[in-house]
Amino acid sequence: MWQYSPAAIRNFSAPFIFGRFNIPEDNPLTEDAFQLGRKLFYDPRLSGNNQISCSSCHIQALAFTDGRSRAVGVSGVELPFSSMSLSNLLWGPRHFFWNGRSPTLEAQSLLPIQNPDEMDQDLEQLVIELAADPEYEKDFARAYDDVNAENIAKALSTFMRMLISQNSRYDKFLRGELTLTDEEELGRKLFVAHPDVKVSKRGGNCVDCHSQFLTGGFKDAYDGFSNNGLDGEDDLQAGLQAVTGNPDHKGLFKVPTLRNIALTAPYMHDGRLPTLEAVLEHYNGGVIISSTLDPLIVEANNIEITDGTSIGLSLNPKERKAIIAFLHTLTDEDFVSDEKFSNPFEKK
């Protein structure tokens, strides 16, 4: 049996501007755990038919999404939700999946593996299969101890926690390394501004839900979930309510990160909006009223509305185009091409 000898992650850095993060005490970040998690993430043996890996629905070049409206696993059945981008999971909401049904990354890691429509793998069988592989036996001994389901979850979680996107043009702008174009700068200012007609302050209202630097949902309680007006009362899906049982949470879904958003179309939890232009059109004048509609959306408009029924930002074409230009600055080409996040089974 190999000796367990954890070593710190090589060249690990976390942008201070992203804020504090917490690592589980029983699953510290180590280089051996990261490398093991990387192998598991790309290994199709994690599926029952040995055909589907985690990377099948989370493709690095697409910022770990899959380009589909809704994910499709081993059963061939279209799943209810699209595949979420995996980046900067060290921060942001502590509830994973679109409806927040998993409280930790460790718990989240095992659910798709066991789901009959996703990877349809029996955990006991998976442990037997991996333990019979001498290389995996060594890998688990280095990173943890035995080959078991708990350590599979820990390794996958470590790999996902290390998927840090921090070198987009926006990041370089924040570090003072470059200047945004005039259009991008207008988009940035609109992104971080809540409109206020009383003082003629125009804004895109984006930052009210997408925290400024991480551009994902806020992490406190369920602040990272929102009903953004996709459906009316009769068509609201359960969303977060399926987890909490709270009727006030009906229709609320996790606010995704906007990091690398230009690479992760189609958009929304069910992939219904094909382009960023369609997303801006939705917020600009396509918001549908319901009882749980986010009040931050209800209150946001760049013109004074008196009829009490019109919901939308009322941005002009130049402003919408500028916001989209800014969103493109969130693309991190290094992140989506970094070899340390790539498939270790492919020959380079």
CATH number at residue 311: 1.10.760.10
Q: Is residue 160 located within the same domain as residue 208?
A: no
* Per-residue pLDDT, 22: 86
- Amino acid 158 reads T
Asked, as a colleague might, if the bond just before 6 is cis with ω within 30 of 0, I would say no
Residue at a domain's end among 164, 186, 205: 164
* Per-residue pLDDT, 1: 38
Please, what are the averages of pLDDT over each run of 10 residues along the chain (348 residues)? 62 86 92 97 97 97 97 94 95 86 93 96 97 97 95 98 97 97 98 94 95 86 91 96 97 96 98 98 95 94 78 96 98 98 89
Q: Is residue 158 located within the same domain as residue 212?
A: no
Q: Is residue 153 located within the same domain as residue 213?
A: no
Q: Evaluate whether 168 touches 332 at the Cβ level (below 8 Å).
A: yes
Residue 271 vs residues 67, 99, 111, 214: alpha-carbon distances, Å: 9, 15, 21, 22
Q: What are phi and psi of 273, to 5 degrees?
A: -105, 120
Strand, coil or helix: 50: coil
* Per-residue pLDDT, 92: 67
Q: Is residue 276 located within the same domain as residue 218?
A: yes
Q: Is residue 160 located within the same domain as residue 173?
A: no
Domain count, the chain: 2
Q: Is residue 105 located within the same domain as residue 224?
A: no
Q: Is residue 91 located within the same domain as residue 218?
A: no
In a domain, 8, yes or no: no
Residue at a domain's end among 142, 164, 186: 164
Q: Which DSSP category does 285 fall into?
A: I
Q: How many CB atoms are located within 10 Å of the residue 315 CB?
A: 25
In a domain, 108, yes or no: yes
Q: Is residue 121 located within the same domain as residue 194?
A: no
Q: How far apart are CA 213 and CA 202, in angstroms?
A: 20
Q: Is residue 250 located within the same domain as residue 131?
A: no
Single out the residue of 60, 33, 32, 56 nearest to residue 43, CA to CA.
56
In a domain, 86, yes or no: yes
* Per-residue pLDDT, 2: 41
In a domain, 335, yes or no: no
Q: How far apart are CA 180 and CA 183, in angstroms?
A: 8
State which residues form the domain around 242.
Answer: 169-328
